[in-house]
Amino acid sequence: MMQITLDDIDKCILELLQLDARASFADLSRKLDVAEATVRFRVKRLIDNGVITRFAALLNPAKVGFGVSGAILLKIDPANLEQACKQLVAFDETLYLFQSTGEYDVVSVILARDMIHLNDLVKRTKMIVGVKDARVSVTTRFLKFDPAIKF
């Protein structure tokens, strides 16, 4: 994946948008003391280059009915890895999916409504062709949830 060079203005725009994705170009322009046209151009360039992948609201999972979170650590047969990952990505409950080194091939960070929902998710995960082992770790409390990247 090609990395693009970000200057200080790009980084400031990204930091401000991570704090408030609804900030207008005019607001960003005032905060950065640059022309609004400059902000528009740079945001478009950041989108076009895949730096900004989407604008989103961050939700509190518990407040919207997802009281259980955790990780599923998976060992997957290499011959089925790509297809298994495609299926895991498609699960609505999957927040993050990482391919990793070490004992487990894939780490799936998930949300579930309750333990029944979690058990169903684990069962569906184990039924994916190529899954050899699935270890579940349920979180007991959030210590940090901040997907923002600091520059």
pLDDT tens for the chain, residues 1 to 151: 678 899 999 999 999 999 999 999 999 999 999 999 999 999 999 999 999 999 999 999 999 999 999 999 999 999 999 999 999 999 999 999 999 999 999 999 999 999 999 999 999 999 999 999 999 999 998 888 888 999 9
Q: Is 54 a domain residue?
A: no
Q: How far apart are CA 75 and CA 126, in angstroms?
A: 10
Give residue 1's pLDDT: 66
CA distances from 71 to 46, 75, 93, 99, 136 (A): 31, 13, 11, 13, 6
- Quick one: 76 and 127 in the same domain? yes
Nearest C-alpha neighbor of 109 from the set 64, 76, 61, 51? 61
Q: pTM value?
A: 0.85
Q: Examine the domain organization and report whether 71 and 125 are in the same domain.
A: yes
Give CA–CA dist 90/50, Å, rounded: 21
For residues 75 and 133, the answer to whether their CB atoms sit within 8 Å is yes
Domain span at residue 44 reads: 8-48
* Number of residues written out for the chain: 151
